[in-house]
Structure 1
């Protein structure tokens, strides 16, 4: 497979990435969570290229990335919940789902025809620099083929997408390693997807518990497909022991092919999750995974693993 060009993490690379976005091309950019497959969120044809490159269902909405709260207000109807959470966690691994402004100019494909859109202010300095250089909203799902393991390094992007992406802005490994937490921030605040910011921290900022999305509801935000983040082989969860022929992914004091965190640190485990899944997937063997605690970032890790292990549609 041919590989896309790599752009350096300096002003020349940022300038070239912004130029490509203005031309309607796709550019992979680093965020603190995972690499995003970026396109001008106002350009219908560019956004359509995201779906084509990923093989992504058109009913699955995208996240719009902007540099700051003022930029977000230009595209969505702001709420008190949004103000509280943005003040506490932006820039950062939090996405807010809010009603679209009538004059937003966001391409309809971005929101999958919904009246709301998911918006985030990323903390990664290269993402921030690119957004400011580009001067507009960037729609950016994870930079991989739809349903596959999310990319946390430039090599992951190149291996999954090849020249479906024009260029990769090379920011090295992503420090958080799982996607952003998504919260519906109009009406009653609801957790739509666990992610890089634990629900407990969000609830502390709000002063009350979050409502939880009913799994039977229609898709309202990215990352809600039942089978997602999936390796080529099967994934066995909560494995108390290993079976012959399995590639093993441990947590805590467990002997395994790879260990998310030998010390049981959930932050370290989240950062290692997708990279370790990529490595084990390359072995061509079924993958078995140790039990992961459900508190803090463990909720996001277990969410990704349960989707990786779900029956393929």
Structure 2
């Protein structure tokens, strides 16, 4: 639930008094406007000089897939009833490590990492707000929000002043949430709402999913998968999810190619091969990270190619 203030929100120029913390008391101090906060602006500049939206998109996707663990569980949707509340919440915890790796930072005290020699807290949430620990009060926080239902995320940067956090005693871990109006007024946008990499399994109907996951034959599963999703890029992770519990799903996917050509008139292109990657790009498909796509034979022929050109 997003927290709303019942009294005027403290503003730049007002005093802020953080809660006691393990590292020792932080003194009473004056709130500085974000545009005048030199450390905040330095961190923002460092982030935005990079392809930050793309880097964070990868980190969020990796964290979600890590928790879903599709290659062992068949799960591909964070909002599925098969994903319990605690697992869903753990995405935020895993996310900080994926962000640190994606941005080529290191895990470093006193918070989660350092940017330009400035301590930065990294908080992720799949809810409407974030939980700020006492050590993060009045410190710079990179706040990432995942909207699992709409399969998207956004990222904000904010100095999480105690005066802008919930006024009660917080949760059992003594964490507090920022007020919604404080986020609106004083958080700086790092990445706007951005769609996560597509998970094609989410687009299948219930009946189609039953077919894709219902056979003991991985080959039949994969033929059904590509047959239902022509011209949709299918990440390697989606293939391994379909093959959860079965051996060598990627090898089986390669073996499915002639059946897909015979039964559905589809030519499967794989991003592993540069030639196929380039052909897919000409047709508007990005096969980065060794993704796959099934293309109608007629479109391949229209490029002056034949299915035999893609046999390995």
TM-score w.r.t. structure 1 length?
0.21
| More contact order relative to length (CA 8 Å, sep ≥ 6) | 1
Which structure: greater helix fraction? 2
Which structure is larger by alpha-carbon Rg, 1 or 2? 2
